DNA sequence: GATGAATGAGGCTTCATTCAT
DNA sequence: TATGAATGAAGCCTCATTCAT
């Protein structure tokens, strides 16, 4: 049996890129930086990846695909109120920040980058599908009388992403509050803000 | 009388930088890009500015100084409830996004950059002072019984910045809702979320 | 068997730098000049060297190390009078000028440069060690009664360096006198000048 | 009467250039450096001087003209032995180093520069005339039986320049020995070396 | 799979010089 | 006399990428 600690070179490069993109941004990280951290050399990089941008694409892809998949699960769950679904979506976001901080941060930070580049079309679509799910749940909740009728689904869904997105800048695992607690604080605020009382 | 539309070269460079940094980020914008847009040549840039980073500094400085000044005015106003102060602070943020979108966006987008660079010490301090004002108003409001006792001032103040900060990514002046309306939506959500009923 | 004339790129760059620094000085030579002469392109330079200054350092280092090593050999040789040692040190200098004219010239010409730059600390130390050896031999010769008691070791050692150093400006291999002859002329002058008769 | 402390701008620029060229070399000094030190601006520079090189020319010219004039005076003095003339020429050099250290240093340091540039033809000629005077005095001394017949006039004259030239690198006014003392040490060495005993 | 040498475009910055005022 | 804005070439260096081995 192969030593399970062995990490293959492709993964090493991906992990180095992940942490460096998070720390210094995509533009602020050079291919050399990545390879120094991964303790590999030029040749390997272009054996595994087509370009630096390709790396960014893969990082986005794996993240957004999981996020979209999980959010669709929530959206499609039966016998669940929209309030409950919204709660789960918020928790999904904070969970993702907790589990995939680097991915999440890069996703938020390079939001503009992927807006401008044709190659990221697919990413953009999935990103929008995810946002639409939040918007849809709020709309459904309004129709069902769970949320106030004057709630603006789009603006609120932007807000939910913004709250968590900003967490990529300040949240630390060793901070005074756990992700669960932070999650609850924002969730309370959001639900109190839009629920029909 | 001189034509008031005449813009001097330094201002032209600043304005070009402002819009390009906003669009492509600081790292993604070259000095050449800026000078092409400003219709000037290499030399002029370094006649007016010490470095590319100097430009970023000035852009941050002018923005954060105004924001801090205005927020202090709000903080120090007499005969004003903390709820009212918080409302005004939220409005100040959305007003700033409306009036100084480029500055605001750059500020949010390069948040990490200024965290890492020694030269931005002063900016960092003012930024923190601004955040502290929001936190303080919430704390005061809790003590005064205006806000729920279990409100977390720091987390909520992060949230307020995050909500507006994310606006830099999606808000368009020609969108369906005015800044005033968006402002009100978020303000309602926040206040409903933390007010004592 | 590989053609022994084949010179690798790093050596080609070093050699080009050597001859250009000698001809036009360090400041007067651009990295581009070096690469044009070496028939290589920008990137290669920074693949092999950290900076232009790094090159200057290496050139100095290889030269001063040899010079210091050889002078220490002379200094430590047994059963040798100080007069004989001094003769050998003078010959060492002219030999070096003959064999490593470019290195020697750069060393003399950029004497000030290496005095001002922290990175050249090690070079500075070895340079001073070399000068000290000459001074020490003269001092020992005075104590041994070989040289006049009123001889100033430091001033004379400066003079010895100066005589050869200036040779970097006028000496040509195709001149009327050989290095050996020039060496002898100066050595006679120095020894006649300081010997006890 | 005008305040005799008032230094006009042209002189201020010249003096700044003098001290900066001495410290950092001609290539290592920018026009801006000079103007910062002189507390003047770009315009003035090109009002008074045609170019940066023009400055270097003037610095060389004033120095070499004086040196040549004084050496010709010595050469032409009647009833003076060649030994005495040579002594005076050596003293002239050390006197010049003492009085015009910056000029002298620049002259020695940029020796190569003026060798390569057509505009410095006149300087080159005067420089060579000065060297020829030393050579001629030695030749005359040999013919007159004052100096050894096997003395090489050219090599010795190079040596005399080299000894003083190297002084530009190490001589300090606050050093342990006065210029007079250093002058005497080298003069003794030279004369002992070449005199007929 | 992986190396390391090499490329060439482009990055930020400095420079000597010009010129209208 | 002197200023200060502006130029454009050139300087040092970094970058993403390629390719023979």
Residue C3 belongs to a domain: no
Orientation angle between helical segments A153-170 and B179-194, nearest 10 degrees: 70
Interface test with A, best of B24, B193, B194, B195 (most A CBs within 10 A): B193
Residues of C in contact with D109 (CB under 8 A): 109, 112
If asked whether residues A18 and A115 sit together in one domain, one would say no
Give CA–CA dist B160/B27, Å, rounded.
Answer: 27
**Burial of residue B58, with CB atoms counted within 10 A of its CB: 0-12 exposed, 13-18 middle, 19 or more buried:** middle
Protein CA B60 to sugar C1' F9 (Å): 33
Give CA–CA dist C80/D58, Å, rounded.
Answer: 52
If asked whether residues A188 and A140 sit together in one domain, one would say yes
- Choice among A39-43, C63-67, D8-12, D115-119 with the minimum mean pLDDT: D115-119
Q: In this structure, is the CB of residue D52 within 7 Å of any atom belonging to strand E?
A: yes
Name the percent of chain A lying above pLDDT 90. Answer: 87
Tokens of D42: 């770009």
pLDDT band at D77; cut points 50, 70, 90:
very high
Name the percent of chain D lying above pLDDT 70. Answer: 97
Of D17, D34, D26, the closest CA to residue D113 belongs to D26
Flag whether residue A153 sits within 8 Å of chain B, measured between CB atoms: no
Chain B's closest residue to A114, CA to CA, is B24
Encode pLDDT of C8-17 as tens digits: 999 999 999 9
If asked whether residues A142 and A159 sit together in one domain, one would say yes
Give CA–CA dist D120/D56, Å, rounded.
Answer: 10
Counting runs of H as helices and runs of E as strands, what totals does chain A give?
Answer: 10, 0
Residue A2: predicted pLDDT: 41
Residue C2 belongs to a domain: no
Name the percent of chain C lying above pLDDT 90. Answer: 89
In this prediction, residues D27-45 reach a mean pLDDT of 93
If asked whether residues A117 and A41 sit together in one domain, one would say no
Tokens of A113: 């980058």
If asked whether residues C69 and C157 sit together in one domain, one would say yes
Encode pLDDT of B178-190 as tens digits: 999 999 999 999 9
If asked whether residues A38 and A100 sit together in one domain, one would say no
Residue C174 belongs to a domain: yes
If asked whether residues B21 and B36 sit together in one domain, one would say yes
Buried b (16+ CB within 10 A) or exposed e, B97-118: bbebbbbbbbbbbbbbbbeeee
Encode pLDDT of D120-134 as tens digits: 999 999 999 999 999
Residue C1 belongs to a domain: no
pLDDT band at C5; cut points 50, 70, 90:
very low
Flag whether residue C93 sits within 8 Å of chain D, measured between CB atoms: no
Give CA–CA dist B96/B109, Å, rounded.
Answer: 15
pLDDT at B10 over 50: yes
Residues forming a β-bridge with B195: B147
Q: Assign residue D29 the CATH number of its domain.
A: 1.10.10.60
Residues forming a β-bridge with C147: C195
Contact B162 A165 (CB under 8 A): yes
Flag whether residue B178 sits within 8 Å of chain A, measured between CB atoms: no
Residue D30: predicted pLDDT: 95
HSE, side-chain direction, 13 A CA sphere, residue C78: 0
Interface test with D, best of C128, C155, C186 (most D CBs within 10 A): C155
In this prediction, residues B38-63 reach a mean pLDDT of 94
In this prediction, residues A137-147 reach a mean pLDDT of 96
**Burial of residue B48, with CB atoms counted within 10 A of its CB: 0-12 exposed, 13-18 middle, 19 or more buried:** middle
Give CA–CA dist A93/D193, Å, rounded.
Answer: 91
Residue A65 vs residues A94, A165, A180, C96: alpha-carbon distances, Å: 16, 17, 23, 69
Residue C3: predicted pLDDT: 33
pLDDT band at B6; cut points 50, 70, 90:
low
Residues of B in contact with A188 (CB under 8 A): 193
pLDDT band at C2; cut points 50, 70, 90:
very low
Give CA–CA dist A65/A130, Å, rounded.
Answer: 10
Encode pLDDT of C126-144 as tens digits: 999 999 999 999 999 999 9
pLDDT at D1 over 80: no
Nearest neighbour of B159 by CB, restricted to A23, A27, A189:
A189
- Domain encompassing residue C164: 51-194
Q: Assign residue A187 the CATH number of its domain.
A: 1.10.357.10
Contact D169 C27 (CB under 8 A): no
The sign of the CA dihedral C2, C4, C6, C10 is: positive
Residue B105 vs residues A109, A113, B52: alpha-carbon distances, Å: 12, 14, 18
Residue D6: predicted pLDDT: 57
Q: How many domains does chain B have?
A: 2
Residues forming a β-bridge with A147: A195
Residue C169 belongs to a domain: yes
If asked whether residues C26 and C119 sit together in one domain, one would say no
Mean pLDDT, chain B, integer:
93
If asked whether residues B150 and B78 sit together in one domain, one would say yes
Protein CA D29 to sugar C1' E20 (Å): 28
If asked whether residues C125 and C105 sit together in one domain, one would say yes
Encode pLDDT of C164-187 as tens digits: 999 999 999 999 999 999 999 999
Flag whether residue B166 sits within 8 Å of chain A, measured between CB atoms: yes
Interface test with C, best of D185, D191, D194, D196 (most C CBs within 10 A): D185
**Burial of residue B4, with CB atoms counted within 10 A of its CB: 0-12 exposed, 13-18 middle, 19 or more buried:** exposed
State how far residue A163 is from chain B, nearest Cα, in angstroms: 5
Residue C140 belongs to a domain: yes
Predicted model pTM: 0.89
If asked whether residues B160 and B69 sit together in one domain, one would say yes
Give CA–CA dist D22/D28, Å, rounded.
Answer: 10
Strand F bases near protein CB (under 7 Å) are 1-20
| Residue C57: count of CB within 10 angstroms of its CB | 19
pLDDT at A121 over 50: yes
Using only the alpha carbons of chain A, give its radius of gyration: 19
If asked whether residues C31 and C115 sit together in one domain, one would say no
Mean pLDDT, chain C, integer:
93
Residue C1: predicted pLDDT: 26
Of D185, D166, D160, the closest CA to residue C186 belongs to D160
CB of D177 within 8 A of CB of D69?
no
Residue C65: predicted pLDDT: 97
Residues of B in contact with A158 (CB under 8 A): 166-167, 170
């Amino acid at each position: 049996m192969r030593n399970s600690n062995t990490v293959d070179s492709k993964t090493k490069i991906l992990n180095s890129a992940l942490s460096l993109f998070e720390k210094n941004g995509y533009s602020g990280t050079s291919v050399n930086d990545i390879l120094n951290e991964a303790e590999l050399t030029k040749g390997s990089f272009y054996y595994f990846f087509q370009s630096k941008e390709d790396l960014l694409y893969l990082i986005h892809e794996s993240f957004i695909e999981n996020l979209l998949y999980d959010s669709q699960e929530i959206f499609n769950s039966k016998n669940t109120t929209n309030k409950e679904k919204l709660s789960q979506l918020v928790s999904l976001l904070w969970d993702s920040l907790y589990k995939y901080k680097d991915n999440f941060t890069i996703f938020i930070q390079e939001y503009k980058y992927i807006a401008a580049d044709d190659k990221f079309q697919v990413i953009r679509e999935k990103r929008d599908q995810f946002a639409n799910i939040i918007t849809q749940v709020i709309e459904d909740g309004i129709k069902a009388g769970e949320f106030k009728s004057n709630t603006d689904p789009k603006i609120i869904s932007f807000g939910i992403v913004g709250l968590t997105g900003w967490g990529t800048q300040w949240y630390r695992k060793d901070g005074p509050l756990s992700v669960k607690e932070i999650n609850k604080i924002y969730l309370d605020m959001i639900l109190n803000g839009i629920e029909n009382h």
